[in-house]
Amino acid sequence: MSAPNIETIVSLAKRRGFVFPSSEIYGGLGSAWDYGPFGVELCNNVKQAWWRWMVYERDDMEGVDSSIILNRLAWKYSGHEDTFSDPLVDCRDCNSRFRADKLDYLPTEEERELPAPEAIAKAIRERRIKCPNCGSKDLTEPRPFNLMFRTHVGAAAEDDPSSLVYLRPETAQGIFINFANVLTTSRRKLPFGVAQIGKSFRNEVTPGNFIFRTREFEQMEMEYFVRPGEDEKIHQDWIDNCFNWFTGLGISANNLRLYEQPKEELAHYAKRTVDIQYRFFPEREEQDRQWDELMGIANRTDFDLRTHSKKPEDAEGKRLNPDSTEDLSYFDEATKERFYPYVIEPAAGVNRTVLSVLMDAYSEKTNDKGETRVILKLHPTLSPIKAAILPLAKNKPEIVGMAKAIKRSLQPLLRAVYDDTGGIGKLYARQDEIGTPFCVTVDHQSLEDEAVTVRDRDTWEQERVKVSELPEHLSTRLKG
């Protein structure tokens, strides 16, 4: 089974220390969340699993970590300054919301003279624009939403326009603008990829659904550079590859699906985009609304490398990018051709992956007395705690001492905890609820035979293992 809804996960996450509402003691901050003791472990494990799969287990991959604040020009030429700023209007009658620049209306002569945003605002005031949904003419004036967070570099520079910078809305641009650096220092040849994990920021108009959509979030992005013409096949390969990564993490294929973005919805840089969606909203009645994006796999063509390059010119021979000092083209020694590589981009959200993993791992088990307990059947690679060392009787100093010693001997190898604050049943249950795959129990017998009981989270089966063989026993099973 998996979680019936996100609310169930919100409660569990708060109760057990995965995720807390941010700034809670000051009344909270809209849809910002903090990761607690187990949450940070889970996030780190997700990122580590991604990096291993994406970088270490391949032959064609490098990594970078670019800064969050870039030269503003990066966002000018990436297209984000233009496209990440949408004027929005609301219909007061049916409460629908639209992008003002997409509303259909006939401008008057006078309005033709005005900049588009002002013309639209004027037409709305004069009630000449109809709501595309209900036909009402009662629309609010357009309000601009700049999806990029702005700030300023330098002290006391608030009023100096040249100090304006943005917090990055995606990590990808940090890879593109370093393309030449990575290419020359790594001596790579096409095709190859550059991976990056890091925070991104979008001033979302409507964040929400727990950690699904937050204004500050963490991305795992990889830009895979290919020869034009090879892009379509390699794109498809990555789609399959990424889907398998999620199922490999234990997410049920039933809760995953591929979604082909319609042409008219594609981002300004994309030729084709396929999303991997997860069933984040199983409680919704309409099938189609149960799904939302977990990972996007885009064919960005040569848009990014070309737009950041100094060489491309328009029809009149004028440089399209007079600010760039570098040409990001690639020279193929074999064919003696110079060109701008195409880019295939698998981009996933750490937080969304964490949410999907939590939802998918959630299960309940009811005992004879009708009491229900929660078991998080996380993939062992992702579990915040790998092993809990528990004394069967805590009033026997020898048993306690042995359990603590075992915990200490394991901790260089894996994340282990010791717990004696309850009966054994309660201790097991507590570990089940945070997804600890193995509990190691020390009992009276252990004092004589140097062996302990290893109890499996999913099967509840117990196995007697020599203490000397415990590290090997656990590490083979943790690889899952």
Partner RNA sequence: GCGGGAGUAGCUCAGUGGUAGAGCAUCGCCUUGCCAAGGCGAGGGUCGCGAGUUCAAAUCUCGUCUCCCGCUCCA
Sites for RNA among residues 291-330 (CB under 7 A): 292-296, 298
Among 425, 447, 458, 463, binds RNA (CB under 7 A): 425
Among 80, 168, 213, 235, binds RNA (CB under 7 A): 213
467 binds RNA (CB under 7 A): no
User: Rule CB under 7 A: which of 123-142 touch RNA?
Assistant: 140
Segment near RNA (CB under 7 A), from 71-79, 158-166, 387-395, 465-473?
387-395
Bridge-partner residues for 21, per DSSP? 33
Positive or negative CA dihedral for 279, 285, 287, 292? negative
404 binds RNA (CB under 7 A): no
Among 37, 82, 85, 99, binds RNA (CB under 7 A): 99
CA distance 429 to 373: 7
Bridge-partner residues for 342, per DSSP? 226
Segment near RNA (CB under 7 A), from 73-81, 229-237, 241-249, 423-431?
423-431
Among 35, 210, 418, 438, binds RNA (CB under 7 A): 210
Segment near RNA (CB under 7 A), from 43-51, 82-90, 235-243, 410-418?
82-90
96 binds RNA (CB under 7 A): yes
443 binds RNA (CB under 7 A): yes
Main-chain dihedrals φ then ψ at residue 430, nearest 5 degrees: -65, -40
CA distance 462 to 449: 16
Bridge-partner residues for 418, per DSSP? 389
79 binds RNA (CB under 7 A): no
36 binds RNA (CB under 7 A): no
278 binds RNA (CB under 7 A): no
Angle subtended at Cα 229 by Cα 224 and Cα 231, rounded to the nearest 5 degrees: 30
312: preceding bond cis by omega (within 30 degrees): no
Q: Which of 476, 473, 412 is nearest to 440 (CA)?
A: 473
The number of helix segments (H) and strand segments (E) in the chain equals: 15, 23
Report the residue number, 401 or 422, with the smaller CB distance to RNA: 422
Three-class SS state of 276: strand
Helices (H), 194-347: 231-248, 303-307
Among 134, 426, 469, 475, binds RNA (CB under 7 A): 426
Report the residue number, 143 or 408, with the smaller CB distance to RNA: 143
CA distance 346 to 235: 9
Report the residue number, 186 or 445, with the smaller CB distance to RNA: 445
- Minimum separation from the CB atom of position 314 to RNA (A): 26
Q: 131 to each of 99, 100, 254, 270, how far by Cα in Å?
A: 11, 11, 38, 29
Binding string, residues 159-188; x marks residues near RNA by CB under 7 A: -----------x------------------
Bridge-partner residues for 222, per DSSP? 195
- Minimum separation from the CB atom of position 111 to RNA (A): 23
Report the residue number, 99 or 466, with the smaller CB distance to RNA: 99
- Minimum separation from the CB atom of position 319 to RNA (A): 28
Total interface residues for RNA by CB under 7 A: 82
CA distance 378 to 362: 8
Report the residue number, 277 or 324, with the smaller CB distance to RNA: 277
- Minimum separation from the CB atom of position 424 to RNA (A): 4
Among 309, 329, 381, 453, binds RNA (CB under 7 A): 453
CA distance 71 to 323: 11
- Minimum separation from the CB atom of position 361 to RNA (A): 15
Q: 478 to each of 210, 296, 317, 326, 346, how far by Cα in Å?
A: 29, 29, 60, 47, 27
Q: Regarding beta strands 33-35 and 19-21, do their DSSP bridges make them parallel or antiparallel, or are they unpaired? A: antiparallel
Positive or negative CA dihedral for 422, 426, 428, 429? negative
DSSP structure class, residue 410: H
Report the residue number, 254 or 367, with the smaller CB distance to RNA: 367
Segment near RNA (CB under 7 A), from 34-42, 203-211, 236-244, 302-310?
203-211
